[in-house]
Amino acid sequence: MSAAASHSSSGYPSSDRSGQPDLTIAHAATWRAILLEVVKSGGVPTLDLGAVEACDTIGVQLLRSAAVTARKAGTPLRIVRAAPCVIEACDKTGIRPSDIALDLPPKP
- Asked whether residue 4 is domain-assigned, the answer is no
pLDDT tens-digit readout, 47-72? 888 889 999 999 999 999 988 888 88
Residue 70: inside a domain, yes or no? yes
Q: What is the pLDDT of residues 4-60, one digit of tens each?
A: 333 343 333 444 444 557 899 999 998 899 888 888 887 888 888 888 999 999 999
Residue 59 lies inside a defined structural domain of this protein:
yes
**pLDDT score for 108:** 58
Q: Is 94 domain-assigned?
A: yes
Q: Domain containing 46 — which CATH number?
A: 3.30.750.24
**How far apart are alpha carbons 66 and 101 in whole angstroms?**
10
Asked if residue 108 belongs to a domain, the reply is no
* 6 domain residue, yes or no: no
The DSSP call for residue 97 is G
Domain that holds residue 62: 19-100
User: Which band of pLDDT confidence, cut at 50, 70 and 90, is reported for residue 105?
Assistant: low
Strand (E) positions, the chain? 22-23, 46-48, 54-55, 78-80
Please tell me the predicted confidence (pLDDT) of residue 18: 44
In a domain, 12, yes or no: no
What total of structural domains would you count in the chain?
Answer: 1
pTM value is 0.73
